[in-house]
Amino acid sequence: MASYKQDLAPPGGYKDIQWQRALRKPVSGWKIIGGLVAVHAFGGLLWYFKKKQQLLETTELFDSRVALIPFYTAEQDRLRLKQLRSYRDYEAELMKDNPNWVVGEQLYHKDVNSIRNYDGDDTNALKTPDTISNRVNLFFTSTFRKIFS
């Protein structure tokens, strides 16, 4: 007799071999639409809260800038006065040999607000404030004076 034992099938046989494709159950359209609605709703909430936070930060930044404007203006004024002082010192140094020179006085336009009429008198200009309507009135009065005189 043989001294080996033959390997046999289990009693009742082997299980059937699955040779067809195993497809999973498809997801229904309603579940897909529901998932999309949920994702959009969640994204919309995130967008809303982020936009609200950005608005608060922007408002705070704007308010801080508005609060700092007087300091910036004061600093610009200080630098401008410092520059004007250096110009005045330079002018004094440059014109120290001229005895008739007055430092800081304007050379050509001594009365800035005066309006000269075409006929040369500026008596009306010194009595009225310098506005555009007064300039127009003075122009027309001086022009009509020349035309009709």
What is the model's pLDDT at position 9? 86
Question: Mean per-residue pLDDT for 55-76?
Answer: 93
pLDDT by residue (tens digit) across 9-58? 888 888 888 888 888 888 999 999 999 999 999 999 999 999 999 999 99
> Under a CB-based contact definition with an 8 Å cutoff, are residues 117 and 138 in contact?
yes
Q: Which residues have CB under 8 Å from 119's CB, separation 6+? A: 142, 145, 146
pLDDT band at 117 (very low <50, low <70, confident <90, very high): very low
Task: Count how many residues are written for the chain.
Answer: 149
pLDDT for residue 141 is more than 90: no
Ordered by start, the domain boundaries in the chain are 29-98, 115-149
Distance separating alpha carbons of residues 145 and 108, to the nearest angstrom: 27
